Structure 1
Amino acid sequence: MPQEPADAVDGVAEAGLPTRQELDLNQFLPYRLNRLADRISDELERMYAQRYELNVAQWRVLAWLSHCDDLTAKKVCTYTNMDKARVSRAVQALVDRGLVSRTPSVRDQRVHELHLTGDGAELLSRLIPQAQDWEAELVATLSVGEYRDLLNAMGKLERQLERMG
C-alpha cells in the first residue's frame, strides 16, 4: 500500500495538491453485486441458448408469465428492470416462436396482454426444473442459514434503495 508523505494533512500533500483517492472495487458492494449478477446471467444464458435458443430477456418474460395471469410488456419492464426496447424484442421473438400470445386488452386497446401458449407452457415445464437445479448447485456452497441470511440482506438493501430513491 502506498505511503502518504509524513507531512500530508487532511488529504493535502506537501505541494498543496490533493492526495489521490482510491477505490478497491473488490471491496465495493455495487461492483461486486453487479459482477456476480453478470456472471450468473451469462451462465444461465449459455444454458438457455444451448438448450432452448433463448436469451436472458426472453427467459425473464417466460418466467414472469409462468406465475402472472395479467401481464403486459410494461409490467415486464417494471418487474425485470429491463428497458422497453429489450422487452419488446424479447416478446416479439417469443410471439414469433409461438411461445407467447399477445392480445389487445379488453380494458384498454392500446395495451396488449401477454399469455403463455401451450408450447410456451410445455417449454417452461422442462426449463424451470433445470433452472432450479442450476440454482441449487450454485447455492450448494451456502448453508441453509447463509442462504436465508443472503436473501434477507438482499431484501433489506432493496428496501433501503426504495427509501433512498
Structure 2
Amino acid sequence: MSRTDRNPDASSPSTELDLTRFLPYRLNNLGGRISQALAVIYRRRFGISIPEWRILVWLNERPVLTAKQLTGLTQMDKVRVSRSVRALESRNLIHRQPSTEDQRQQWLRLTDDARALLAELIPATRRWEAELAATLSEGEHEALLAALNKLEERLDHLVAGESGQD
C-alpha cells in the first residue's frame, strides 16, 4: 500500500472507514486490551486499580507531585485522580503534605509501604510486558517504540496547531 493510500486526500468524497486499518482505533483498542489484561496482575495480586497503579508508578518516577500534575501525566480526569489518591492514602501507600506556597495544593509522595509494593509489582509487570513483546524480534520492538515516539511527536504538533500554538 502506498503512502497516499494510507493518507487519502481530505476532499475525497468517500465516507468509508475500515476500522481494521484506522490507526487511532487500532492503537486505542490495543492499548485498552493491554491495560485490562495487565490490570489483572495488579488487581488480583496487589489489590490496586488501573488508576491507582498509574499514580503509584508516576510517583515512583517523579517522587513529589500534585494531584493536578498527576491528572496531566496520567491523562485521567481530576475526579478519578482524587478518588484514587484518597484510596491510596487510606491504604497508607501515599502521603499528602500541604504546600507552603498554596494551601489548595498538596504534595503527594510514596510511603515505604508503597515502595515495598512496587518492588514486587514493577518486576511482575515487566515480566508480563516481556511475555507480550516476545512475539517481536529485538529490531521490531525497537522499531515499534521509535514509531510510537514519532506518532506522539506528530500528535503534539497537530494538537498545538489546532489550539493556535503553532
Task: Name the TM-score, length of structure 2 as normaliser.
Answer: 0.85
2:55 aligned to which of 61, 80, 95: 61
CA contact (8 A) 2:63 2:110 kept: no
Counterpart in 2 of 1:104? 98
**2:66 aligned with 1:48, yes or no?**
no
Instruction: Compare relative contact order (CA 8 Å, sep 6+) and give the higher one, 1 or 2.
Output: 2
- Amino-acid identity (%): 50
**How many pairs were matched up?**
147
**2:23 aligned with 1:29, yes or no?**
yes
Shift of 1:70: 2.3
Can you give the 5+ residue segments of structure 1 that lack an aligned partner in the other structure? 1-18
Can you give the 5+ residue segments of structure 2 that lack an aligned partner in the other structure? 1-12, 160-166
Q: Cα RMSD over matched residues?
A: 1.2
- Between the aligned partners of 1:20 and 1:117, the Cα distance in structure 2 is 55
1:90 aligned to which of 66, 84, 87: 84
* Structure 1 residue runs of 4 or more that deviate by more than 4 Å after TM superposition: none
Task: Name the TM-score, length of structure 1 as normaliser.
Answer: 0.85
Counterpart in 1 of 2:162? none
After superposition, the C-alpha distances for 1:19-46 in whole angstroms (9 at most, x for unaligned) are 8722110110000000000101101111
**2:112 aligned with 1:118, yes or no?**
yes
When residues 156 and 20 of structure 1 are mapped into structure 2, their CA distance, relative to the original with a 3 A threshold, is: closer
Code of the aligned partner of 1:39: R
Higher fraction of helix: 2
